Amino acid sequence: MSDAAQNPSPTTEAGAIRGLHVVSLAPGADLDGFRAAVRRLIAGRIPPETVVWQSEAPSLFGIDMDRAEGAPLRLPRAVTDLIPMVVPHRDPERYGLLYALIWRVLQGERALMEVASDPLVHRLHRMRKAIGRDLHKMHAFLRFRRVPGEGAERFVAWFEPDHHILAAAAPFFVDRFRSLNWSILTPEGSAHWDGTLSFGPPGRCEDAPEGDSFEAGWRDYYENTFNPARLNLDAMRAEMPRKYWRNMPETAAIPALVRAASARAQAMIEKEPTMPVKRDPVRAVAKMAQDEPDSLEALNAVIARSEPLVPGATQAVLGEGPVGARIAFVGEQPGDQEDRQGRPFVGPAGQLLSRALEEAGIDRREAYLTNAVKHFKFTLRGKRRIHEKPTAGEVSHYRWWLDRELDFVGPRLVVALGATAVLALTGKQIPITRARGPAEFGKPFQGFITVHPSYLLRLPDEAAKDVAYRAFVDDLRRANALAA
């Protein structure tokens, strides 16, 4: 027998250490690495008890699993939803526990996630809840502060999560603060947003500003909304642990508020109750009329400073065109390019509309163009913002603005481009194919219904697209003749 046979090496070509298979993943939450490793392990029929997972340090023997990709796995939805909520956990056994779950499910226990009493399932559920709590605390307790100095405005926040949640939490702040340039610093890494989300090395607490001019107003608001009668110190500490206090401006006021709470609560009890003051409805209606905008410019100022009904839009996109225009065109809502540029109908559909208007003999500069909904609603897929159709409730929310806008413009004819515009102008769901052509909107102007130009862009067949475009141009010619 050879010396090699008598003294076997501790490693093998397959990446095993004395029968164990070592999988090295990146530190933190390496979701992609874990998924790729699981596919390789399942393809090799390697049971969980023979796998060693490591992510905090390189392998003792400097080896790793074979990098050949395995086939995608068919797992129950409950398992695929659980994996990204456990991978960020700080427990070093998280990968091994998840792989044991996947192995058992693929061996026939398809309903394993429904067995809450199973020790493995119970432990993974507790880990998922811990990640959910950590994400909630980061969303609630992180505070951005403005970086002092000249140049572009930028905000920085320091946060110390309990688990590896930075990548999972960052999209929330992208949606909430899309129009700002910001950075989130943590002891394990950093996230940066300037129109594109990126991740970098760890930061330090001293790299974040200690305060800014906004915080005094925020503390005043917190002090004035503090209810001493509902003070519960145990619940406060449980919900808002002290480790987060130094990063939150309002917590500086808590000690004084707690000391004064008892006296303030007693004063509230002793105070003589008073009847609520009833408002005079006639005077209230008169006050509302006085507060209404008295011009298109004033209305646009109100729209511009209003928050979007659905978070995410960069800005409100206002109507464009002269007051007194003969024709007004009402579309659905701004698209990606409209949201970025702040102008209506400048994206692909808007360019097609401009071409059709020119062929129909309508000068776009003399027409008024606007949308039923003033903010861009979308779904984020990677870096792309995909248009999402507004609901009837969202259309109704913006309808008052549209009515006032058209009152100020005073067109002879309003062209509804698509079903959403028809809903906004009539309050009814009306099929375009049935109502296409002249219409009554119950308004002090004539109406006309046609398709939205984006409909033409979605047609897959070039021949059908050409026929539909010619019909659209004919509609615009008819509308132009009615407005004349």
Query: In this predicted model, what pLDDT tens digit does every residue of 114-168 receive, in sequence order?
Result: 998 999 999 999 999 999 999 998 998 888 888 876 567 889 999 999 999 999 9
Q: Which of 7-16, 48-57, 214-223, 364-373 bottoms out in mean pLDDT, i.e. has the lowest?
A: 7-16
Distance, CA of 191 to CA of 199 (rounded, Å): 4
Beta bridge partners of 190: 185, 200
Q: How far apart, in Å, are the Cα atoms of 239 and each of 140, 233, 236, 244?
A: 10, 10, 5, 11
- Type of residue found at 369: L
* Residue-level pLDDT at 34: 95
Q: Which two tokens stand for residue 330?
A: 């009402």
Residue 5, pLDDT > 70, answer no
Cβ-contact 317, 376 below 8 angstroms = yes
Q: Which of 353, 298, 304, 349 is nearest to 327 (CA)?
A: 353
**What are the Cα distances from residue 5, in Å, to 8, 61, 141?**
6, 20, 61
Structural domains of the chain ordered from first start: 3-134 (no CATH), 142-207 (no CATH), 214-263 (no CATH), 294-483 (3.40.470.10)
Single-letter code of the amino acid located at 142: L
Cα gap 315→338, rounded to integer Å:
9
Please list, in sequence order, all residues whose beta carbon lies within 8 angstroms of the beta carbon of residue 423, skipping any fewer than 6 positions away: 372, 392, 395, 429, 430
pLDDT recorded at residue 216: 55
pTM, two decimals, is: 0.48
Residue-level pLDDT at 266: 67
Quote the CA–CA distance of 235 and 228 in Å, as a whole number: 14
Give the model's confidence band at 4: pLDDT under 50 very low, under 70 low, under 90 confident, else very high: very low
Query: Is residue 220 scored above 70 in pLDDT?
Result: no
What is the average pLDDT value for the chain, to the nearest integer?
A: 84
From 27-31, 97-101, 300-304, 306-310, the region with the lowest mean pLDDT: 306-310
CB-based contacts of 234-240 (< 8 A; 24+ apart in sequence): 240/140, 240/141
Rounded alpha-carbon distances, angstroms, from residue 269 to 227, 229, 230, 231, 257: 13, 9, 13, 15, 18
Distance, in Å, from the CA atom of 405 to the CA atom of 64, rounded to the nearest integer, reads 65
**Distance (Å, whole) CA 169 – CA 294:** 44
Query: 3-class SS at 407?
Result: helix
Q: Cα 67 to chain center, whole Å? A: 35
Degrees, nearest 5: CA angle 377-381-385: 35
Structure tokens at 264: 């303030």
- Four-residue CA torsion sign, 43, 44, 47, 48: negative
Nearest to 184 by CA among 145, 130, 210, 215: 145
SS3 content of the chain, % helix, strand, coil (to 5): 50, 15, 40
What is the pLDDT at residue 22? 92
* Higher-confidence position of 467 and 57: 467
What pLDDT shows up at residue 144? 87
pLDDT band for 205, please (50, 70, 90 cuts).
confident
CA-based nearest residue to 476, from 444, 441, 433, 436: 436
Of 435, 440, 404, 398, nearest to 418 by C-alpha is 435
Helix ranges (H only) for 189-308 are 214-225, 233-239, 254-270, 281-291, 296-304
For residue 267, is it left (φ>0), alpha (ψ between -120 and 50) or beta? Answer: alpha
What is the separation of C-alpha 322 from the centre of its chain, rounded to a whole number of angstroms?
Answer: 35
- HSE-up of residue 431 (Cα within 13 Å, Cβ side): 2
Full DSSP string of 144-198: -EEPPSSSS--EEEE---SSS-HHHHHHHHHHHTTTS-EEEE-SS-EEEESSSEE
Using alpha carbons only, how large is the chain's radius of gyration in Å?
Answer: 31
* Residue count of the chain: 484
Structural contact between residues 185 and 204, judged by C-beta atoms closer than 8 angstroms: yes
What is the spatial distance between Cα 142 and Cα 464, in angstroms, rounded to a whole number? 53
